Structure formats: C-alpha cells, structure tokens
C-alpha cells in the first residue's frame, strides 16, 4: 500500500494540480465526495484529511486493501501527517498512528502559489462567509513561510502552481522526478474546485488576483513588517509587491 500526501494552503490551486497528477497515475478522478473510493482500481482519494478524522473508519472498511491512498491536507504545516500519533512526519517507517495502515512507500508533495495571489483568493473567498477555516491572519503568513522554507531546504517534493499552469516542461519534470511517469493527461483535463471570484477565469486572471482584491490594512501591516517573508518570496522566484 502506497501513501501519497499532498500539502497546500487553501485557494492555492492544489485541487487542480492534484487532480492532474492523480489522473496521470490512475487515469480516473472525481472530487464529488470527501472520500472517493475507486473500487475498480483499488485507490482511495481522501480530501481534507487533516480535518476529517472521523472518516478513518470509512477508509478502513472499504473491503479491500488499497494500492494507493492519496490524501490532501489543507492549511497545515509542511511536516503534518495524519498517520503519525503527534501528526508530525518523521519518516515513512515511523507512521505509528494506526496498526492496520502500513505503507510500502510514501511520497509527500507540497503545492505552493505566489503569496499575494494566494492571499487575495483567500480574502475573496472568506468574504462570502461560508468557511470558518478560511483565514488570512498571521497564521496564514507563517504557514506560507514554512512551506517556502521546506522547498528551499529540499525537504519535500513540490511544484509551484504558476509553473504547473504555464510551463509544460515543468509539469513533465515533476511527473518524472516524483513518480517516474510521462504526462498522459494534460492540465486542461484536471478538475479543481470553484474559483473564489465566481467568474470564468483565464490563465492571466489566475496569475493576477492581486490586482482585483483589496487587502485589509492590518494584513498589509503584517506583510510590510515581515522581512523574512520578503526574503522567501524572492528566494522562490516570486516578485515582492509594494502594498
């Protein structure tokens, strides 16, 4: 049984990216349910695994031993795992939370998006008031910085949302480096969740949410005073923006 864990911030585009690489691995994917059981292929896709611990029994009682469990964690630090007692990943052979979940291999993937565009999408979605977990305070900033540092320290497989969206060679390299496969399913066939902006978005729109969103003054202050954030934005090849 293989475990493939994905870590990302909300509104980072990670559902579309995960849909794409899962389709390339098993050629089927659907986001209709929090837990998706692929009985014909013996795969389980578990969305929001960090919050839905009560669904472990559903995963445990599917009636077969899965070949792969794909699990997605939103708004978690880069070392989070559901399968460790203290929820801190320490290695593939130290996942000790459940005796009946023993994995042959594990892969951990982090999907990151430009800080400002990710922040603006969260602000826009949060304004709708339908998700109590949607925040854009100091914790959001700290989690983005943690994700950036794990990438720079080469601690985890990763892909930048912008590279996935615009760079065909980057997508091919990611699939080859992480899974050892070629791209069969193109990004246009991936299925993400709805846009925060409730409009038919173009590639330009996804890359420029900053231009269409007002950032609250208290959040601007946090950003302006965070020199480490400024450094990490540049270190990942993103552009620092005056706000």
Per-residue pLDDT of the chain (243 residues; tens, 9 = 90+): 889 999 999 989 888 898 899 888 887 665 544 567 777 778 888 877 655 566 777 777 777 888 888 988 999 999 999 888 888 998 777 777 777 778 888 899 999 999 999 998 898 877 666 666 677 889 999 999 999 999 999 999 999 999 998 999 999 999 999 999 999 887 666 655 555 545 555 544 555 665 657 788 898 999 999 999 999 999 999 988 888
Which pLDDT value is given to residue 206?
57
Which pLDDT value is given to residue 164?
94
Q: What is the pTM of this model?
A: 0.86
Tokens describing residue 194: 């709805």
Which pLDDT value is given to residue 40?
72
Interhelix angle 168-179/14-26, rounded to 10 degrees, is: 60
Which pLDDT value is given to residue 63?
79
Interhelix angle 217-224/138-152, rounded to 10 degrees, is: 40
Compute the distance between CA of residue 123 and CA of residue 215 in angstroms, rounded to an integer: 8
The answer for residues whose C-beta is within 8 angstroms of residue 56's C-beta and 6 or more apart is 98
Note the CATH number of domain 2-235: 3.40.50
Question: Among 243, 216, 211, 209, which Cα is nearest to 229's?
Answer: 243
Domain boundaries, given as residue ranges, for the chain: 2-235
CA atoms within 13 A on the CB side of 33: 9
Which pLDDT value is given to residue 194?
55
Which pLDDT value is given to residue 44?
83
Which pLDDT value is given to residue 31?
53
Which pLDDT value is given to residue 85?
85
Compute the distance between CA of residue 96 and CA of residue 110 in angstroms, rounded to an integer: 22
């Amino acid at each position: 049984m293989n475990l493939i864990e994905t870590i990302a911030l909300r509104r980072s585009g990670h559902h579309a990216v995960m849909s794409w690489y899962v389709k390339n691995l098993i050629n089927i994917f659907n986001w209709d349910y929090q837990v998706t059981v692929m009985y014909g292929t013996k795969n389980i896709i578990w969305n929001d695994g960090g919050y839905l611990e009560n669904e472990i029994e559903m995963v445990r009682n599917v009636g077969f031993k899965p070949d792969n469990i794909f699990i997605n964690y939103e708004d978690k630090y880069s070392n989070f795992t559901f399968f460790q007692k203290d929820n801190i990943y320490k290695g593939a052979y130290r996942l000790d939370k459940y005796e009946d979940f023993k994995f042959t291999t594990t892969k951990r993937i982090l999907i990151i998006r430009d800080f400002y565009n990710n922040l603006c999408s969260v602000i826009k979605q949060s304004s709708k008031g339908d998700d109590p977990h949607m925040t854009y305070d100091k914790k959001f900033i700290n989690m983005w910085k943690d994700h950036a540092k794990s990438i720079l320290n080469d601690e985890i497989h990763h892909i930048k949302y912008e590279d996935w969206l615009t760079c065909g060679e980057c997508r091919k390299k990611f699939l080859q480096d992480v899974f050892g496969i070629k791209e069969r399913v193109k990004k246009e066939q991936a299925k993400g969740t709805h846009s925060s902006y409730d409009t038919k978005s173009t590639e330009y729109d996804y890359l420029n949410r900053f231009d269409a969103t007002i950032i609250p003054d208290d959040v601007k202050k946090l950003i302006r005073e965070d020199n480490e954030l400024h450094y990490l934005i540049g270190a990942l090849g993103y552009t620092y923006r005056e706000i």
